[in-house]
Amino acid sequence: MDPIGTFGASPYAVRDLQLFRDADDPAVTAALAPCTVLRVAAGQRVEDGLRARLYIVLSGTLEVAPDAHSGNEDTGVTHVLPGESVGEQAVLDDAVNLAAMTALEDCELLVIEPELVWQLIDRSNVLARNLLRLLSFRVRAANAQLRRRQKLGEFYRQLSLNDGLTGLYNRAWLNEMLPKLAARAGQDGSPLSVIMIDLDHFKRFNDTHGHIAGDAALSAAANIIRESLRPSDFAVRYGGEELMAVLPDTQTGLAEMVAQRLAERLRTAIVFPDMRLPLPHITGSFGVASLPLGGTEHELVAAADAALYRAKQAGRDRVSI
């Protein structure tokens, strides 16, 4: 990185610089004339001695990566092209410029010291207007990028709350949402019921037809549960071959009717119709429970699990409350 002269002795004109576009004041041209022009070889880092300076790219391309300690590393790498500038924020904040600046190709840079920047701002309304326009554009771009990252973060958060095989909500979702649903039901005095579902003899199904067929059966059962519930209900893969339906605003009697409907639809579900084997169906055992007055989500799940145990003990493929 070597000084090769001054701006006044270079072939570049003030009109080539975006910050000084439309600044026809000869005094601005005279003030910039003694400013240093640096040559930076491709791959070389711009070292500024940890000082706030304004750099304007006259030729070549400069890569700017925010410092990891600045808290802005997520804004990503930017490329500064001829006529564009970097370092304005550091000058305005009177702060050290910690951005990592590297020449992607041989570059020539105009260096303007902060004192002169402020003098030019005082002298030229055009410069102040261009600077405000530039900073406004960068704020809008940063906000747009932040919104995209928030949407992406929410997308991945939703992925983390869904079971990959069945598409149902998973145990992490249940651990987060069931306490909230129980608390709301307690506050409003509204009913909340759950149905615990265990696919009958699922290990035998896997051993007979294979794990790929077992996954197909589990997915088929999940689809039945999801498609049979109201939009306000929730279908969850509790773990393994255990599923759950969470039914807000639902009394025990209605929840039992829902469970009976689910059991009937499971009995007639076709898992895979193209195998040269007796057509397998799937059945389930169902335990129904409702949130007791003043009870917790743990008591609700425990009651549903106990009801499920009774259904299995009574012969499976049935509903117990």
Which residues are the active-site residues? Answer: 241
Contact yes or no for 20/28 (Cβ under 8 A): yes
CA distance 257 to 197: 14
Type of residue at 101: M
- CB–CB of 110/37 below 8 Å? yes
- Check: CB of residue 310 under 8 Å from CB of residue 316: no
- CB distance 44 to 78 below 8 Å: no
Residues 6+ apart with CB under 8 A from 316: 200, 201, 283, 285
Region of 166 (left: φ > 0; alpha: ψ -120 to 50; beta: rest) is alpha
- Contact (CB, 8 A) for 169 and 235: yes
Determine the Cα–Cα distance for residues 291 and 295; give it in Å rounded to an integer. 6
What is the C-alpha end-to-end distance of the chain, expressed in Å? Answer: 80
Cα-to-chain-centroid distance, residue 142: 16
Distance between CA atoms of residues 194 and 246, nearest Å? 5
Report the alpha-carbon distance of residue 20 to residue 10 in Å, rounded. 16
Q: Spell out the residues 6+ positions from residue 305 whose beta carbon is closer than 8 angstroms to its own.
A: 196, 287
Asked whether 80 and 64 are in contact (CB, 8 A), the reply is yes
